[in-house]
Amino acid sequence: MYDDYQARPRALWIATLVFCAVMIADSWFRWATFQYGTFDVAFYTQSLWLALHGQAHVSLLDVPLMGNHAEPICYLLLPFFWIWKSPMLFVVAQAVMLATMPFTAWRIARRMEFSTRGAMWMSLTTLLAPATGFVALHEFHPEALAAPFVLLVIEARLARRPGLFWIWFILALACKENVALMLGWLCVVHWVLERERGREWQMVFNILPGVIALGWVALYAFWLAPKWNGGRVDYGELYSHVGGIGGIFSQPGRAFGAAWHGLTGGNLVWGLLAPFALLPLLRLRWLIVAAPLFAQHLLSSRSSEWSLQFHYAAPLLPLVWIGAAEACARLFWRDVMAGWIVFACVACQPWFGPVRAVTGTIAGAGDALWARKWKAEMLATIPPNASVTAGLPYLSHLAKRTQLHSLHLILKGLKTLSRAEYVQPPATDAVVVDSGDLATFNRTAGYYHPERPLDGRVVPASDLLLHQYMRQSSWSVLSRNELSIFRRGEPTPAEQPGGDGKKLDDFHTLIAVQAGPPPWGDSMLFAMTWDLKPGRPLLPWVSLFLQGPDGKLYTVGKGPVAPGLESGRFTETWLVRPPNGLPPGKYRGQLMVYDSYEFDLPQPRFARRRFDVGEFDLK
């Protein structure tokens, strides 16, 4: 018989420490080197920072914390955030909580009469499953905390411990509204399957918790969310392709087609089932419990929800694991099968797991550290109390302030997950524009786009939306490579060369390009003087091409020309740090001015022009 005080195998402690070390180190490094690609960590950081200052409304999404999702679990981190006001608090807490799952799984497996070795194998799969690694790595989401809490709920049911059951149930309920829906459905399913159990069991473990969970979902959906969200984040838009939530039931054929597309187009389902040798299919009870969450994700138009590479698998993971454990426990060779599940989890890592993501972080560490040094120096010029608009990788570094806005909303021109127009906020004290930031300048996600029609109106091109936002004020600019930091204030005076220059179109004339001391420290300095006419229909972009002795081309991007400047003669200064690892030698420089949308449009509106800027001896 299982003994609660039985010592846990040393392998569990070792696996837990290794898991925490790898997940925290990788996440911390990617955060420190500005490689985060969403606003989530920044949103929770700003939420708790404002809560410590007695404020609830979060400027980043223009909603309070509970207006985005029903995630009151975040407030339990507030005392820890008061001690350590770092975005990494969330990442560390997430990794540590996920690392508790093997110990819960060990206790469950021993109750199912696995041997010590078999229970150890079975419990290790909670960390070796590809989904767990991605949940831990994908920045921070309170939904990730549902994985250990739901597993604890299942264990408390098996152990018949109502006190612990209610503690874990409430904590899991507080992780997100869809987790609450799943828990309510779990109670309904078990109310039906456990008809032979007594009234007391049904009330404690099924009826009362089911009523509370479903009541919380209804309260949030019909009152709290409309009150706190007010349409600023429109999750219903994710299902507009199937006619909305109602269309799922009124047009089942259309919904089935969307679900099939999500099933075959993503790896969420197969990435959960394959590592457990498809054994959960033998315990349909748990797949039925998971059905609402699978439906939510597979019916969504957002392809990330069909993918294992994000956090959406978190509340599904304990359900798939318990299904596999129960199926395995019914076999005579259960301990041997547990070992094969470990093998399946390891074998699936190259296909579904985060191994490639972690190795990619290691492989790109040199370039990332090189970029971090000068990017961090530039961010340090922004005062801690200044209001800021910034791209996605920079938001969490700037989140401890009252006013913070995301550049991707400016570029998109629409509210989050919505077709409604995004009303631009007043110009902030500083704007951080990194044209090499592929998360913010993301064509696939639709953040960065040319002019496009939508619902009978025209959404302006992203560059013009940025131009509209920036022309609310005058700016002084610090530009290094692709990163520019705009500070409110008059531009730094610069020498204005004479001459007619080279006319690029009816609105842009490049008067002169002057190269500074070649090199200047570890950088090259360029001064580009433009003559701009009013009513610019586009913002041309600039890149520098360096051709080395071996004939190879090395590119350094700058981004759009003078956003916010309406007309007149203007000099932009641009500091170029040659790419990391550039071999020493003589390089020929060419400046290219081009339309950044030329690959998205049938006919480019702006012809590419190249300008020779001389030879540079890089040592």
Domains and CATH numbers, the chain: 13-233+266-360 (no CATH), 371-492 (no CATH), 496-619 (2.60.40)
What's the pLDDT at 489? 85
CB 96 within 8 A of CB 89: no
What would the pLDDT profile of 107-126 be if each residue is shown by its tens digit?
999 999 999 999 999 999 99
Sheet with 585-594, side-by-side order of all strands: 553-560, 541-547, 585-594, 609-618
Identify whether 519 is preceded by a cis peptide bond (ω within 30 of 0).
yes
Poorest-pLDDT segment among 30-39, 148-157, 204-213, 352-361: 352-361
Angle between helices 146-159 and 162-173 (to 10 degrees): 160
- Quick one: DSSP state of residue 224? I
> Phi, psi (5° rounding) for residue 523?
-135, 165
Among 67-81, 317-331, 500-514, the least confident range: 500-514
The tens digit of pLDDT for each residue in 314-345 reads: 999 999 999 999 999 998 899 999 999 999 99
Q: What is the mean pLDDT of residues 421-434?
A: 96
Split at pLDDT 50, 70, 90, the class of 519 is low
CA–CA separation, 132 vs 127, rounded Å?
Answer: 6
Task: At 214, list the tokens.
Answer: 């479903």
Alpha-carbon gap, residue 493 to 510, rounded angstroms: 18
Average pLDDT for 292-310: 94
Categorize the per-residue pLDDT at 493 as very low, low, confident or very high, splitting at 50, 70 and 90.
low
Res 66 pLDDT > 90: yes
Give counts: helices (H), strands (E), the chain. 25, 17
Helix (H, G, I), strand (E, B) or coil at 375: helix
Quickly state the pLDDT bin for 63 (edges 50, 70, 90).
Answer: very high
pLDDT digits (tens, 9 = 90+) for 357-395: 999 999 999 999 999 999 999 999 999 999 999 999 999
User: Could you give phi then psi for residue 416, rounded to 5 degrees?
Assistant: -60, 125
Please give the DSSP secondary-structure letter assigned to residue 160: T
Query: Does 10 have pLDDT greater than 60?
Result: yes
Identify which of 47-51, 196-200, 605-609 has the greatest average pLDDT: 47-51
Phi first, then psi: give them for residue 334, nearest 5 degrees. -60, -40
| Tokens describing residue 505 | 């179109």
Q: Which of the four pLDDT bands, split at 50, 70 and 90, describes residue 592?
A: very high
At 517 the pLDDT is 65
Q: Is the pLDDT of residue 160 over 60?
A: yes
492: confidence class by pLDDT, cuts 50, 70, 90: low
pLDDT given at position 495: 65
CB 592 within 8 A of CB 504: no
Q: How far is residue 153 CA from its own chain's centroid? A: 28
From CA 400, how far away is CA 397, in angstroms rounded? 8
Q: What is the dihedral of CA 184, 188, 190, 196, to 10 degrees?
A: 140
The SS3 assignment for 455 reads coil
pLDDT of 171-217, one tens digit each?
999 999 999 999 999 999 999 999 889 899 999 999 999 999 999 99
Instruction: Say yes or no to pLDDT of 2 above 60.
Output: no
Residue 65 has pLDDT above 90, yes or no: yes
The whole-angstrom separation of Cα 157 and Cα 187 is 11
Residue 422 has pLDDT above 90, yes or no: yes
Of 351, 352, 343, whose CA–CA distance to 277 is shortest? Answer: 343
pLDDT mean over 73-91: 97
pLDDT value of residue 5: 61
CB-based contact 202:191 (threshold 8 Å): yes
Average pLDDT over residues 429-449: 94
pLDDT of residue 4: 61
Rounded to the nearest 10 degrees, what angle do helices 40-52 and 88-98 cross at? 110
Contacts of 270 (CB under 8 A, 6+ apart): 352
Please compute the mean of the pLDDT values over residues 49-59 and round it to a whole number. Answer: 96
| pLDDT exceeds 90 at position 247 | no
Q: Which of 54-58, 189-193, 415-419, 579-583 has the lowest mean pLDDT?
A: 579-583
Q: Which two tokens stand for residue 497?
A: 């060369």
pLDDT of residue 599: 76
Distance of alpha carbon 205 from alpha carbon 198, whole angstroms: 11
Cα 281 to Cα 287: distance, rounded to the nearest angstrom? 7
Buried b (16+ CB within 10 A) or exposed e, 15-28: bbeebbebbbebbb
**DSSP code string of 78-122:** HHHHHH---THHHHHHHHHHHTTHHHHHHHHHHHTT--HHHHHHH
| Beta bridge mates, 541 | 560, 594
SS3 444: coil
User: What is the tens place of the pLDDT at every residue in 531-547?
Assistant: 999 999 889 999 999 88
* pLDDT mean across residues, the chain: 92
Write out the two tokens for 503: 């006319």
Distance CA 496, CA 30 (A): 41
CA pair distance 73, 79, nearest whole angstrom? 12
Q: DSSP readout, 28-44?
A: HHHHHTT---SSHHHHH
What's residue 608's pLDDT? 83
Q: Does position 130 have pLDDT exceeding 70, yes or no? A: yes
Q: Which pLDDT does position 6 carry in this prediction?
A: 67
DSSP run (H or E) holding 576: strand 568-576
Q: What is the DSSP letter of 221?
A: I
Task: Please state, in angstroms and rounded to a whole number, the distance separating the CA atoms of residues 471 and 536.
Answer: 12
pLDDT at 400 over 80: yes
pLDDT of 455 higher than 80: yes
In single-letter form, the type of residue at position 373 comes to K
Structure tokens at 125: 């799969």
